[in-house]
Amino acid sequence: MTSRWKALLVTLVLSLACAGGAGAAEPMVRGTGDLGIVIERAAGTVLVVDTTARAILSRVEGLGDLSHASAVFSRDERYAYVFGRDGGLTKVDILSGKVVKRVVQSGNSIGGAISQDGRLVAVSNYKPGGVKIFDAGTLDLVADIPADYGAGDPSKVVGLVDAPGHKFVFSLWDGGEIWMVDMTDPNSPVTTKFEDIGIQPYDALISGDGRYYIAGLFGEDGMALLDLWHPEAGVKRVLDGYGRGEQKLPVYKMPHLEGWAIADGHAFVPAVGRHEVLVISLGTWQEVARIPVHGQPVFVMARPDGRQVWVNFALPANDTVQVIDVPSRRIVKTLTPGKGVLHMEFTPRGEEVWVSVRDRDKIIVYDTARIEPVTELPADKPSGIFFTARAHRIGL
């Protein structure tokens, strides 16, 4: 079936689903804790999904270029904020399946975050560089932070995350700096700058407790670590061997750092350019093991209970997913969902995982105890999958 036919099929299913009840224009009366969205990257649309019924509830159109899109959720879990590659920030009401508001806030953006209290949404930009911060209710601009680092243009900004204390933390690609912005008073952002943290930070992550901010470096090996419990100690260099310098194979895709899995006191980390998952001891930041895998890992994600780690891969191995058993550090299952496995999202308590398979125009849902497929859902070139439970998590 072509992707156009699949899209039509989704539309048909949605029409039938709505025939017996309120139309898509009327918001649903229901809880929102088991909802989520799936990015349809080519069509510029998102699907609203229900993880209890394993069903598609609506398709929302008109979100622009979603080729590298991500999303965060309002603290009431009703609204998704979708960050598009074209600088678009779109607020979607998942109960009505409609766009509430859309602003094109830059020429090219790379991701965003929502503040601890849910009142502010921040977007990190490439063109022009810098960070813009919006009121989560109205999408009115609250703060514009150009990321000037002493050279001409503002720096491209990457690795933007939220942190406890109403903070946003991000890295300056051109500037080689990490900035921490305290938005406790939205009218008076307080910015703390950490300079000379390394060459070309390209992405970053924050640990699930919001304590450790870790930026990957494109221009050199090693990573930059900021302990937010002790910012006065400054940025330290860790994992000196980590980066492109250790590659033995061509790097088809830089791994996503967001995908670091924290489980059993260790971080499970995608190696760069190697067919390995690295196991890093938390606190000492020393590598303690390497697990051979099927290809170059992209996302390395822990099941919410930390007992399993699921891994997808760059081309030419992007048809495969492997499951690592954490205590034994062994691969217990190799799945082949199909070409173009782009993302995975666990249900909040981890009993199932949704996997997007772009080239087969489908989402496959797996039971994680048996590691077997449960059902499939049609989707038009699906990429990122984001469930509302992220609203309650730090750094997501």
> With binding defined as CB under 8 A, does residue 211 bind its own copies?
yes
Contacts 24+ apart (CB under 8 A), 191-196: 191/145, 192/231, 194/226, 194/234, 194/235, 195/149
- Residue number, 144 or 367, with CB nearest to its own copies: 367
Q: Binding string to its own copies for residues 232 to 271, with x set by CB under 8 A, is what? A: -------------------------------x-x------
Distances (CA, A) of 359 to 26, 119, 223, 342: 33, 37, 34, 10
Question: Which residue in the set 16, 19, 25, 29 belongs to the binding site for its own copies (CB under 8 A)?
Answer: 29
> With binding defined as CB under 8 A, does residue 155 bind its own copies?
no
What is the DSSP annotation of 96-130?
TTEEEEEEE-SSEEEEEEE-TTSSEEEEEEEETTE
Site size with its own copies, rule: CB under 8 A: 51
- Residue number, 5 or 229, with CB nearest to its own copies: 229
Which residues are within 8 A (CB) of 12 and not within 5 positions of it... i.e. 6 or more apart?
Answer: none
Q: Which of residues 67-126 bind its own copies (CB under 8 A)?
A: 73-79, 95, 116-118
Cβ contact 134:109 at 8 Å: no
Amino acid at 69: A
> With binding defined as CB under 8 A, does residue 138 bind its own copies?
no
Interacting span for its own copies (CB under 8 A) from 158-166, 232-240, 286-294, 310-318: 158-166
Which residues are within 8 A (CB) of 183 and not within 5 positions of it... i.e. 6 or more apart?
Answer: 115, 120, 133, 143, 166, 167, 168, 189
Q: Supply the minimum distance, in Å, between the C-beta of residue 373 and its own copies.
A: 16
Amino acid at 327: P
> With binding defined as CB under 8 A, does residue 392 bind its own copies?
yes
> With binding defined as CB under 8 A, does residue 229 bind its own copies?
yes
SS3 294: coil
The DSSP call for residue 259 is G
Distance CA 76, CA 290 (A): 40
> With binding defined as CB under 8 A, does residue 165 bind its own copies?
yes
Interacting span for its own copies (CB under 8 A) from 1-9, 149-157, 160-168, 311-319: 160-168
Tell me: cis bond preceding 189? Omega within 30 of 0 counts. no
Q: Supply the minimum distance, in Å, between the C-beta of residue 281 and its own copies.
A: 11
**Interacting residues toward its own copies by CB under 8 A:** 27-35, 51-52, 73-79, 95, 116-118, 164-166, 184, 209-211, 229-230, 263, 265, 282-283, 304-307, 327, 348-351, 369, 388-389, 391-394
